[in-house]
Chain A
Amino acid sequence: MMLRRWSVTLLAALVALVTIAPLLWMLSVSFMARGEAAQFPPPLWPASPTLENYHLLFGTFGVGRFLLNSILISTLATALALLFTIPAGYAFAKLRFQGRDAIFRMLVAALVVPGQIGMLPLFLELKAMGLVNSYAGALVPWLAGIFGIFLVRQYCLSIPDEMLEAARIDGASEGQILRRIVLPILTPIIVTLALFVFLGSWNDFMWPLIILADQDLYTLPVALAANSRQNVQDYEIMMAGAVVTTLPVLILFLALQRYYLSGLLTGSVKG
């Protein structure tokens, strides 16, 4: 029994180590002097830790601007996505209206179409609307993700109708029911969804690359990729850039972990 528990712990620790090792190495390399990481075998720790790469990154390459772009776009994308997907998911689950289930089935069916297929038509559409090369253009795909609507709907289905009816008898309007009863109950799933959207838009590379032409509007991944073409050998700067890209979402993720996990577990644990 004891042996089994220990072997499980050991195995878990091993998997965790394999997962985290590249991240740690990324952090370590970002503090190395230029060229140090290119040696063979590559060193694990910087011989003399330096912030030079970060100076270069924020000074010469102006990463601060891209960081702000990323934060702005991801924050707006998250806010807008929540604004549209939560009421939509709730409506699909709990409100009665003509064609509700047919529309929902169509949306779910659309999930199987890969996002890349929609990129060209979407681009042409946005071009016609004059949104190419703007923040607004970069935000459009995140406005109302079907997956988000689906997630919120499934979770809303677990809210008993009687609770909403009780609120109706209490005199609450549909808007008040959504705000004062449904939203608080949905908190775990909202946090989960917000994280998904924030991570997705933060890490998104393809769409910003297509829609943003102006260097000043680049998000971090796009800017780093553009940068890497010039500095493809400079592991240290690339890793510093990777740290800047990863750190904010990692912190966000860890901070919200509690809600996030409870969001993923609901339905399976809750009766």
Chain B
Amino acid sequence: MAGLSIRDARKSFGDTEVLKGVSIDVADGEFAVIVGPSGCGKSTLLRSVAGLEELTAGSIHIGERDVTALQPSERGIAMVFQSYALYPHLTVRENMAFGLKIAKAGKAAIDAAVQRAAGILNIETLLERKPAALSGGQRQRVAIGRAIVRQPQIFLFDEPLSNLDADLRVRMRYEFANLHRQLGTTTLYVTHDQVEAMTLADRIIVLRDGRIEQVGTPRELYEHPANIFVAQFLGTPRMNIMAAVVADGGQATLADGRRIALPPLATPLTPGTALSVGIRPEDVAIGEAPDALPFTVTFIERLGGLATVHLTARDGDEPIACQLRDDGSLDEGDGVPVSLPADRLHLFGADGLAIAKKTRE
């Protein structure tokens, strides 16, 4: 097994630069998830690691080896594709054995490897079937099995769950986590689904427009997003962002003229500075409190246990979302007191970058 190191990877298709200098280090045995909106270059990056795309500039190391110029099969990687890409005319067993057969491995070795992978994935009973006779989840398992059989140093996953229905996606997510615990193989996983990223990753790499926005553990990224993009990309419903201007007395004035308290900052801001104030929906509190402001409920999304309540202070304002346990007491049109706790606020400058809060001593 080995770690992965990508140095200043650049990739252009014609005049379009898709990767604009991406450097990533994935430690041995780590589960790293690359997440970003479509078109951010995440799949291109993964395919470059696989050797299916040639980098315009930069290098890729797997373990100590420079694999930048190597063929896909020589890199010690295995890839699971979004469409599974199973060979339709071969049985599950033949699908999984294909790589070893090409490599002219002995029959006994092939059988052992296939049996082992099938055992790990609980697909022993499917070995003689053709892909057409499998369900989506089973195909997904076979695709993973084919990857396991190769005994790669690195697993590459390209949006492997996006073809599955919601139910199965949750189960497969759980299985991916389990599988990684069991095999301990370094994994690079690409998805546009932030829930997958949050639940699976040891470390998340947020990519946008071919550049890395932030790298960190799911917790770090959620608690301390480096900029507005990361803050809004992770978490559903997404973080509320309100325009504000710094006022005196550690306060800020919202667009509607009302004042809220700011958290203590590492370096105080001069009054009059424009900034964006962010707060996660679950941190917005409804109920009487000394600093509560009156808001009106404009819309309630009831999800059963939880509800997302959309609140506005004035007509025409962008509503802020509040997530809470739904006890059925609220109705659309109700006026409610809402507080935005200062210690739960995220502050961003005009450039979109996070403004450092004072760390507690």
Contacts and interface: CB of A to CB of B under 8 A. Distances in A.
A168 B52 contact: yes
B87 A162 contact: no
Given A165-B52, A166-B79, A172 B102 contact: yes
B89 A184 contact: yes
Interface in A168-203: 168-172, 176, 180-181, 184-185, 187
B99 A163 contact: no
Interface in B43-85: 50-52, 71-73, 77-79, 81-83, 85
A163 B83 CA distance: 9
Chain A interface residue number, banded: 10 to 19
A162 B81 CA distance: 7
A160 B158 CA distance: 15
Contacts of A122: none
Contacts of A71: none
A148 to B, nearest CB: 22
A247 to B, nearest CB: 33
Contacts of A181: 87
A118 B51 CA distance: 46
B102 A170 contact: yes
Chain A CB within 10 Å — which of B52, B82, B86 has the most? B52
A171 B102 contact: yes
B98 A170 contact: yes
B103 interface: yes
B150 interface: yes
B83 A162 contact: yes
Contact of A171 (B86, B87, B99): B99
Name B's interface SS.
loop
A171 B87 CA distance: 14
B85 A170 contact: no
B333 interface: no
Contact of B98 (A160, A162, A167, A184): A167
B294 interface: no
Contacts of A166: 79, 81, 85-87, 146
B60 to A, nearest CB: 15
A168 B82 CA distance: 16
Given A184-B89, A185-B88, A185-B89, A169 B83 contact: no
A169 B98 contact: no
Nearest to A186: B89
Contact of B73 (A170, A180, A185): A170
Contacts of A169: 50-52, 72-73, 77-79, 99
Interface in A108-163: 160, 162-163
Contacts of B52: 165, 168-169
A168 B77 CA distance: 12
Contacts of B102: 170-172, 176
Contacts of B150: 170
Nearest to B152: A169
B73 A168 contact: yes
Contacts of A170: 73, 98-99, 102, 146, 150
B85 to A, nearest CB: 4
Contacts of B103: 171
Shortest 9 CB-CB contacts between residues of A and residues of B: A171-B73, A170-B99, A162-B85, A184-B89, A166-B85, A162-B81, A169-B72, A163-B85, A171-B102
Interface of A: 160, 162-163, 165-172, 176, 180-181, 184-185, 187
29 contacts: A160-B85, A162-B81, A162-B83, A162-B85, A163-B83, A163-B85, A163-B86, A165-B72, A165-B85, A166-B79, A166-B85, A166-B146, A167-B98, A168-B52, A168-B71, A168-B72, A169-B72, A169-B99, A170-B73, A170-B146, A171-B73, A171-B99, A171-B103, A172-B98, A172-B102, A180-B98, A181-B87, A185-B88, A187-B89
